[in-house]
Amino acid sequence: MKKSLFASLLACLMLAACGGAERSNSTSAAPSDKLNIFNWSDYVDPDTVVAFAKSRHINIRYDYYDSNESLEAKILTGKSGYDLVAPSIVNVGRQIKAGAYREIDKQQIPNYRNINPDLLAMMNKVDPGNKYAVPYFWGINTLAINKNMVAKALGSDKLPENEWDLVFNPEYTRKLKSCGISYFDSAIEQIPLALNYLGKDPNSEDTEDIKAAVALMKKVRPDIKRFTSSGYIDDMAAGNLCVAIGYGGDLNIAKNRAAEAKNGVDIQVLVPRNGVGIWVDSFMIPRDAENVGNALAYINYTLEPEVAAKNGSYVTYAPASQPARKLMDAKYADDASIFPSKEIMEKSFIVSPKSSVASKLSVRLWQGLKAGR
């Protein structure tokens, strides 16, 4: 799950302009030799794309985005130019209502049976009947630390009982400022974490609650080095940050890159006992898709347990294909930052869709926070 003021405002305008949901038509499902995918960066094993292209004898164009806003701004024009995208649960509901997608022909996806039913239940809340979205990966919004740099900055290797103190409590952020703290560049991701830290409903749309969350972060704003929803991967791996809020899988990618580089950077992905944000990313077919048959075939391919396991081990996220976990590398299958424990899940929250009013307020306050206002 991975925002800018302009993109968000543009999305709100486009939502109002788009019509109702559109069913897939048979002409676009005709055989073709192309597939155009728009997905998050670092979100598939490249071998998966190559193998599928060879098996279908097709050419695949694979482009990337790093925020839900970027995707939404493009998808709501109705002229995306793509056959397959992977929005997060928080955006799916209103995009469906805006008529951005085609219904999924589940008969063309025999591996649909492999999907974790809990994920389908989550998605059913924003996609009634699971008509449009096919879960791809799920994960958590959490934080990671450079163990050595944090210990040096704090003067101890002991972390606070509530590890979210590292990014929300001035007592800690003042000390960690010297080595670099990174926040999400996304109101929709960051504000729920602050609300949860305050003991409020993470998905609250109450104006005063949202203002309280932003006020909390304003207190530590001088200590925040960077706002990014993807750049923290390389910065953490290179030792340019010591604490980063991010997507669990991305933080694990940073950890793995540092280990591969043998640069002395020791990253630990934390899973705070006070809870984390939970999300689901799903494959969806834009209404202007021209290669629907290949898109459906690709979805089915990624749900094969062996393929899903390979992808999961590569991107370090939990695949929607339930049988895949047993086939993943043990170090990932048993990792709490990829598959959180039942206890953590019970204290965590699903990042839910927001109304246009709450979204606009959040974005406006967020931009002010980033600007230091």
Delineate the domains of the chain, giving CATH numbers in brackets.
Answer: 5-138+279-339 (3.40.190.10), 140-277+353-366 (3.40.190.10)
Q: What is the pLDDT of residues 264-293, one digit of tens each?
A: 999 999 999 999 999 999 999 999 999 999
- Answer for the pair 92, 123: CB distance below 8 angstroms, yes or no: yes
Q: Token pair for residue 318?
A: 């939990």
Q: What is the pLDDT of residues 114-130, one digit of tens each?
A: 999 999 999 999 999 99
Burial bucket for residue 89 (CB in 10 Å: 0-12, 13-18, 19+): buried
Convert 106-124 to b/e letters by CB count within 10 Å (16 or more is b).
Answer: eebbebbebbbeebbebbe
CA–CA gap between residue 284 and residue 316 (Å, rounded): 21
Share the mean pLDDT of the chain.
Answer: 91
Q: Which of 165, 359, 142 is nearest to 236 (CA)?
A: 142
What is the strand order of the sheet 59-65 is part of? 59-65, 34-40, 84-85
Residue 120: its pLDDT value, please?
Answer: 96
- Answer for the pair 71, 85: CB distance below 8 angstroms, yes or no: yes
Residue 29: its pLDDT value, please?
Answer: 55
CA–CA gap between residue 123 and residue 133 (Å, rounded): 8
For residue 325, CA distances in Å to 297, 300, 320, 331 come to 22, 17, 9, 11
The distance from CA 205 to its chain's CA centroid, rounded to whole angstroms, is 21
Burial bucket for residue 370 (CB in 10 Å: 0-12, 13-18, 19+): middle
Residue 2: its pLDDT value, please?
Answer: 39
Coil, strand, or helix at residue 193?
helix
Instruction: Work out the widest C-alpha separation in the chain, in whole angstroms.
Output: 65
CA–CA gap between residue 350 and residue 56 (Å, rounded): 37
Residue 282: its pLDDT value, please?
Answer: 98
Residue 158: its pLDDT value, please?
Answer: 96
The DSSP letter of residue 326 is G
List the pLDDT tens digit at each of the 373 positions of the chain.
533 323 333 233 333 333 444 433 334 456 789 999 999 988 999 999 999 999 999 999 999 987 888 899 999 999 999 999 999 998 899 899 999 999 999 999 999 999 999 999 999 999 999 999 999 999 999 999 999 999 999 999 999 999 999 999 999 999 999 999 999 998 989 999 999 999 999 999 999 999 999 999 999 999 999 999 889 999 999 999 999 999 999 999 999 999 999 999 999 999 999 999 999 999 999 999 999 999 999 999 999 999 999 999 999 999 999 999 999 999 999 999 999 999 999 999 998 888 889 989 999 999 999 999 8
Q: What is the pLDDT of residues 330-368, one digit of tens each?
A: 999 999 999 999 999 999 999 888 888 998 999 999 999
Concatenated DSSP letters of 216-235: HHHHHGGG--EE-SSTHHHH
- Answer for the pair 199, 15: CB distance below 8 angstroms, yes or no: no
Cα first-last separation, the chain: 27
Contacts with 373 (C-beta within 8 Å, 6 or more apart), sequence order: none
Single-letter residue type at 181: I
CA–CA gap between residue 172 and residue 159 (Å, rounded): 10
CA–CA gap between residue 221 and residue 365 (Å, rounded): 13
